Structure 1
């Protein structure tokens, strides 16, 4: 069946287009329609049957998602106030308990004061079905995420600027309520921009993570505080080669026992325009996931990727990408409870039908190797989507 679907959808793979609207337009609207076949919807292990939902003995399903979205920009002198919205509804052919809406709504203000101050103030809310990737059981859960963020730049000298940021993020689950939590973040630093085009940014962040619900232990003992110092480099080495590098260290302290842990964190991303039609990119990094752990501890994530895009013509583009992801969950006393490796391979093909119409398609294969618990799984996906820009 999977092979038949692959052959059928390969005939339909037609892809990318330019928007019908221009970027300076006040109102930008789009509609989209997507079909996805997933061989392992709940990310169940290879040895595990699907006995957790009312549809037994089946792991695969297909879904059709319809959506509408848009953006409004209101330039006011040197300011820009904007609003974004994207709403969708998914229908599963078998697991109809997963049917439901999703949305992401936002308001923002790109502000400027005088000749030295500039920044952004934004707020957003989103609601979507929770991922099954790291859950181990097919619990149907949705998560609502509310965000407020602020950033500011003060141009101290022609090449030097002071920077600051603040953010609050709240996650609320309708079933796994023990995951309800919030993050408070404050950051400050300095940025140097060279006349040759590269930029260096030194930044220090303070973060506090708090849980709202008790989970074996009281909620106020499940959280942690964190400090992160990083030095970032954005360097357009040549007209065809660009590098982004961030290096630093992160220290987090558990509210449960005051235990501290320090890890190096950072990332590197390289982009090379090899030819007029070929772009190659690669990167790797190690960082903590703020909302990753369910108990007392942190999720350390290591990522790496390699990707290539070939622009065959003005209407068609082919892409290939490999992602490596490792997730280590470690409690405050140093006990490792998870060590998972994810390998994801994806091929995509886009075709521009009209100036306003975009069709994208992809085939994806993913495997998880769980080193501590027996939760290995494999998953195959095929997707085709049509997007129309008004």
Structure 2
């Protein structure tokens, strides 16, 4: 049904093109997508699961139909943004994985007087859980598990002077699974700090944050943790072509499993270089804990990203993106375990055929090398997408 709705919309491009305006209060969009995946379940070449044994193949193609919308409302000095989208995903071979993804959110950009401002963001989403980091692995890594996330986050800024402000935040996030209930979890966070920002937009901020992570189910080998992190963030633009951002901090966290604590450094460095009016380069490197984890410890990621974008014409642009991630499982009171390394390379082409219609395509290669038995995999993808804005 969703495919028919989307295709019907494309048939009325001429009418919609006349009506489309990026400044509209209400924005609607529809999309169609196709993707081929050579290793859908992210399996080692030496193993299969119940699905691949049954079908005699690891690869599959999927069709995705998407409908979405956004509503921007200005009420006095307050700005409300409501967004929602739903995706219908259908697989050609592994039809047991057919499902609907959806996402809905509300953002309130609030302002009180001339010195107090911030955001209140509520979001809820449902999507298929990834096969990449499945505990079950092997023959068990083959079934549809829907993952639901709900979050509520508050951000506030108290402007003391034109260049000095107190910054604070608080939030809670829950993750629930239909099948893998043993990794259902809740994360509560809060932070407070101070920021200095110059007239040119350069800034430095010092922040201290607290976090509590709990699992819904207690297991003998796994428990949550509490954490405190102190950090300094710096943003500097030496020219209109270059942006530099850096963050350095120290995390002190205590495991609820054994009551022991550990200090772990964290940080990020990012560079944006607008080489010409048609080309932009981005580079980043950093170390931080993954947002959600599913084991006896925490996943510590070291990441590097290289990205280049070239505007070939007013309607056409190319993007190449390389990602490298080293991941280790950090357990308080013991050495790092289960080291793995993942690399991915993606080449994408985007073409704006009409003002409301964008057509894009991509190819991607990904490889993981892991110390975990049967944890290695190689995966190749390519896909096409069409997005229509109204």
SS of equivalent residue, structure 1 residue 43: coil
User: Deviations along 1:308-328, whole A, 9 cap, x unmatched?
Assistant: 111010011011111001111
Measure the CA separation in 2 of the matches of 1:150 and 1:197. Answer: 23
Residue number among 146, 163, 167 corresponding to 1:163 in the alignment: 167
Pairing 1:338-349 to 2, within 5 Å after superposition = 338-349=338-349
Corresponding residue number in structure 2 for 1:96: 95
User: Deviations along 1:322-375, whole A, 9 cap, x unmatched?
Assistant: 100111112233254421110101111111100000011100000001134342
Residue number among 145, 149, 153 corresponding to 2:149 in the alignment: 145
Note the C-alpha offset of 1:197: 2.2
SS of equivalent residue, structure 1 residue 236: strand
User: Deviations along 1:125-178, whole A, 9 cap, x unmatched?
Assistant: 100001111113334211000000101000001100001100100000000000
Note the C-alpha offset of 1:23: 4.5
Is the 8 Å Cα contact of residues 20 and 355 (structure 1) preserved in structure 2? no
Q: RMSD of aligned C-alpha atoms? A: 1.7
Is the 8 Å Cα contact of residues 46 and 375 (structure 1) preserved in structure 2? no
Is the 8 Å Cα contact of residues 116 and 156 (structure 2) preserved in structure 1? yes
SS of equivalent residue, structure 1 residue 296: coil
- In structure 2, do the counterparts of structure 1 residues 167 and 188 end up closer, same or farther at CA, with 3 Å as the change threshold? same
Normalised to the residue count of structure 1, the TM-score between the two structures is: 0.91
Measure the CA separation in 2 of the matches of 1:56 and 1:97. Answer: 12
Note the C-alpha offset of 1:20: 7.4
Pairing 1:282-293 to 2, within 5 Å after superposition = 282-292=283-293
Instruction: Kindly indicate whether residue 188 of structure 2 is the aligned counterpart of residue 189 of structure 1.
Output: no
Corresponding residue number in structure 2 for 1:75: 74
Corresponding residue number in structure 1 for 2:367: 367
Is the 8 Å Cα contact of residues 39 and 381 (structure 1) preserved in structure 2? yes
Corresponding residue number in structure 1 for 2:11: none
Measure the CA separation in 1 of the matches of 2:266 and 2:19. Answer: 41
Note the C-alpha offset of 1:307: 1.2
- In structure 2, do the counterparts of structure 1 residues 151 and 95 end up closer, same or farther at CA, with 3 Å as the change threshold? same
Is the 8 Å Cα contact of residues 20 and 389 (structure 1) preserved in structure 2? no
Note the C-alpha offset of 1:24: 3.5
Number of corresponding residues: 369
Note the C-alpha offset of 1:201: 1.4
Instruction: Kindly indicate whether residue 132 of structure 2 is the aligned counterpart of residue 109 of structure 1.
Output: no
Larger mean CA deviation between 379-388 and 43-52 belongs to 43-52
Corresponding residue number in structure 1 for 2:243: 242
- In structure 2, do the counterparts of structure 1 residues 24 and 186 end up closer, same or farther at CA, with 3 Å as the change threshold? same
- In structure 2, do the counterparts of structure 1 residues 255 and 20 end up closer, same or farther at CA, with 3 Å as the change threshold? farther
In structure 2, stretches of 5+ residues that fail to align are 1-16
Corresponding residue number in structure 2 for 1:356: 356
In structure 1, stretches of 5+ residues that fail to align are 1-17
Measure the CA separation in 2 of the matches of 1:46 and 1:385. Answer: 29
Corresponding residue number in structure 2 for 1:44: 43
SS of equivalent residue, structure 1 residue 55: helix
Larger mean CA deviation between 190-199 and 148-157 belongs to 190-199
Measure the CA separation in 1 of the matches of 2:349 and 2:26. Answer: 29
Normalised to the residue count of structure 2, the TM-score between the two structures is: 0.91
